Amino acid sequence: MMNKVRLHGQPPYSLVAVHGGPGGVGEARPFAEEIAKDYGVIEPFLLSESLEGQLDDLKAANEQHADAPVILIGHSYGAMLSYIFAARHPTLVKKLVLVSSGVLEAEDTEQINKTRLSRLSDEQKDKLESVRNKYVDSNGEVKNQAFMELFTLVQQADAYDLLPHESDLEVVRPHLYESVWKDVVALRDSSDLVKFGSKIACPVVAIHGEYDPRSGQAIKESLSKHVRDFEFISLGKCGHYPWYEKRAKDRFYSELRRIVNE
């Protein structure tokens, strides 16, 4: 059975790196390994098939391995999950870092897909449509393969100048993405998601690439309305995966180290 966490560096484990997705198990490895040069880092593998289950997974990882309170570093969906977690468990989190967070309010979702499509050639758009249809109509290994193809196409559209790299995904479970994401969408559409910020007691820092299709300005405005202690860092020439962005990687790690060290 796969371990539920991957530990980086040496104890005490005072940082937690939360992958995106849902289902992006393994994607946090690059920045977890980099920060683990100086700190012990927990990288949970979140495999439960509901949002509440993944919150429980994250809590269990903290209880089993962490020297609480921790610095929670979440990427994309993992940033959204960490946002909820910090509101639910304020004594367990001393700082929250949101890297390339998903948008927190429903009205900010409409532009994301338009921006992505505007960056694709006609050939890439046709391929995206073909792969999306294959994903919807298939099962088993064919669905898994289509999921990975979709992931790769979207990652390319979300990037400014991506460094070549192998996939960090440890698990491919499309149904996990679908079952968890619907819970997130329901919270966001009801306007309940963004309101968790008023219950967060620790400092919150958002790091966001200017080229990310998810509007950094929208995220900044959402968080500014609800979070008491908030800092926003914008990375130029940077998309959704700053640790793989050729022109933003160094600044991303410099800012991350500063935040962690403060």
The residues near 123 (Cβ < 8 Å, ≥ 6 apart) are: none
Task: Report pLDDT for 3.
Answer: 58
122 falls within a domain: no
**What's the pLDDT tens digit per position in 102-141?**
999 999 999 999 999 999 889 988 998 999 899 888 888 8
In this structure, is the dihedral angle defined by the CA atoms of residues 160, 163, 165 and 169, taken in order, positive or negative?
negative
> How many whole angstroms separate alpha carbon 72 and alpha carbon 97?
6
Which whole-number Å values give the CA distances from 262 to 117, 122, 242, 256, in the listed order? 39, 47, 21, 10
Nearest to 100 by CA among 69, 121, 73: 73
72 falls within a domain: yes
231: which DSSP letter? Answer: E
**What's the pLDDT tens digit per position in 40-61?**
999 999 999 999 999 999 999 9
146 falls within a domain: no
Write b or e for each residue in 132-161: b if 16 or more Cβ atoms lie within 10 A of its Cβ, otherwise e.
eebbeeeeeeebeebbbbbbebeeebbbbe
248 falls within a domain: yes
197 falls within a domain: yes
Helix axes 140-157, 122-137, angle to 10 degrees: 150
Tokens 């405005």, residue located: 221
Task: Report pLDDT for 1.
Answer: 38
164 falls within a domain: yes
In CATH, what number is assigned to the domain containing residue 225?
A: 3.40.50.1820
224 falls within a domain: yes
Domain residue limits at 78: 5-110+159-261
117 falls within a domain: no
pLDDT means per 10 residues in the chain (262 residues)?
A: 81 97 94 97 96 96 95 98 98 98 97 91 90 89 88 90 92 88 97 98 98 98 98 98 98 98 94
Q: In total, how many domains does the chain have?
A: 1
Task: Report pLDDT for 148.
Answer: 86
